Chains A and B, each alone.
Chain A
Amino acid sequence: MHINVMADVVQIVVFLVILTLLAGPLGRYMAKVYQGERTFLAPVFGPVERLFYRICGINRDAEMDWKQYATALLVFSFIGFVATFLILMLQGYLPFNPEKFPGFSWDLALNTAVSFLTNTNWQAYSGESAASYFTQVIALMVHQFYSAAAGMAVAIALIRGIVRRKSDTIGNFWIDMTRSVLYILLPLSFLFALVLVSQGVIQNFSPYKQVRLLEPYTYENPKLDAYGNRIKDTQGRPVMETVTVTQQTLPMGPVAAQEAVKEFGTNGGGWFNANSAHPFENPTPLSNVLEILALLIIAAALPITFGHMAGKKKAGWAIYTAMMAIFVIALAVMYRAEYTGNPLVQGLGVQGAYMEGKEVRFGLGGSVLFSVSTTATACGAVNNMHDSLTPLGGMVPLTLILLGEEIFGGVGSGLYTMLAFVIISVFVSGLMIGRIPEYLGKKVEATEMWMSVIVVLTSGVLVLIFTSIALITKAGVSAMGNPGPHGLTEVFYAFASTSNNNGSAFAGLNASTLFYTLTTSIAMILGRFGPAMATLAMAGSLAKKKYVPPSPGTLPTDQPTFILWLVSVIIIVGALTFFPALSLGPIVEHMIMIGGR
Chain B
Amino acid sequence: MKKEIKTALLLFAVLTLLTGVIYTAAVTVLARLIFPKQSSGSIISTPAGIPVGSVLIGQPFTGQGYFWSRPSSTPDFPYNPMASGGSNLGPTNKVLLDKISARVHTLAAADITAPVPSDMVEGSGSALDPDISLASALVQVPRIARERHIPGAEVRGLVKAYTRGRWYLFLTVPRVNVLKLNLALDKLR
Contact = CB atoms under 8 A, between A and B. Distances in A.
A98 interface: no
A489 B30 CA distance: 44
Given A126-B85, A217-B77, A358-B124, A254 B28 contact: yes
A200 B42 contact: yes
Contacts of A582: none
B106 interface: no
A224 interface: no
B168 to A, nearest CB: 6
A533 interface: no
Contact of B88 (A55, A141, A481): A481
Contacts of A11: 170-171
B76 to A, nearest CB: 8
Contact of A278 (B8, B38, B43, B126): B126
Contacts of A252: 40-41
Contact of B9 (A72, A79, A361): A79
Interface stretch (A1-9, A27-35, A400-408): A1-9
B179 A79 contact: no
A277 B128 CA distance: 9
Given A7-B171, A128-B81, A256-B27, A357 B51 contact: no
With most chain A CB atoms within 10 A of its CB, the pick from B59, B60, B118, B128 is B118
A360 B170 contact: no
A56 B129 CA distance: 48
Contacts, number: 393
Given A277-B124, A280-B57, A351-B115, A286 B183 contact: no
Given A52-B14, A190-B27, A273 B38 contact: no
B24 A141 contact: yes
A263 B31 CA distance: 19
Contacts of A80: 12
A38 interface: no
Interface string B23-65: 1101110111011001111110000001111111111111100
B52 to A, nearest CB: 5
B27 A274 contact: no
Given A204-B32, A350-B115, A388-B86, A357 B6 contact: no
Contact of A486 (B39, B63, B87, B90): B90
B52 A211 contact: yes
Interface string B75-118: 01111111111111111111011001100100000000011111
Nearest to A77: B8
B56 A203 contact: no
A357 B118 contact: no
Given A79-B8, A277-B86, A362-B172, A200 B38 contact: yes
A352 interface: yes
A285 interface: yes
Interface in A152-205: 174, 177-178, 181, 186, 189-190, 193-194, 197-205
Nearest to A205: B28
A363 interface: yes
B17 to A, nearest CB: 10
B84 A361 contact: no
Contact of B89 (A210, A250, A508): A508
Interface stretch (B131-139, B141-149, B152-160): B131-139
Interface stretch (A309-317, A341-349, A566-574): A341-349
B5 A359 contact: no
B1 to A, nearest CB: 8
Contact of A55 (B10, B80, B169): B10
Nearest to A51: B14
Interface in B163-189: 165, 168-173, 175, 179, 182-183, 186
Interface in A202-233: 202-206, 208-215, 217, 219, 221
Contacts of B150: none
A4 B117 CA distance: 15
Contacts of B24: 137, 141, 254, 257
A591 to B, nearest CB: 10
With most chain B CB atoms within 10 A of its CB, the pick from A137, A189, A592 is A137
A221 B77 CA distance: 10
A57 B9 CA distance: 11
Contact of A482 (B4, B28, B89, B183): B89
A356 B73 CA distance: 11
A160 to B, nearest CB: 20
A272 B82 CA distance: 9
A102 interface: no
A555 to B, nearest CB: 40
Given A203-B32, A388-B90, 17 more contacts: A11-B171, A52-B14, A55-B14, A141-B19, A186-B18, A190-B23, A203-B28, A209-B51, A215-B60, A254-B24, A274-B126, A344-B97, A356-B89, A359-B124, A507-B88, A592-B92, A593-B91
Interface of B: 1, 3-12, 14-16, 18-21, 23-24, 26-28, 30-32, 34-35, 38-43, 50-63, 66, 70, 76-94, 96-97, 100-101, 104, 114-119, 121-133, 135-136, 165, 168-173, 175, 179, 182-183, 186
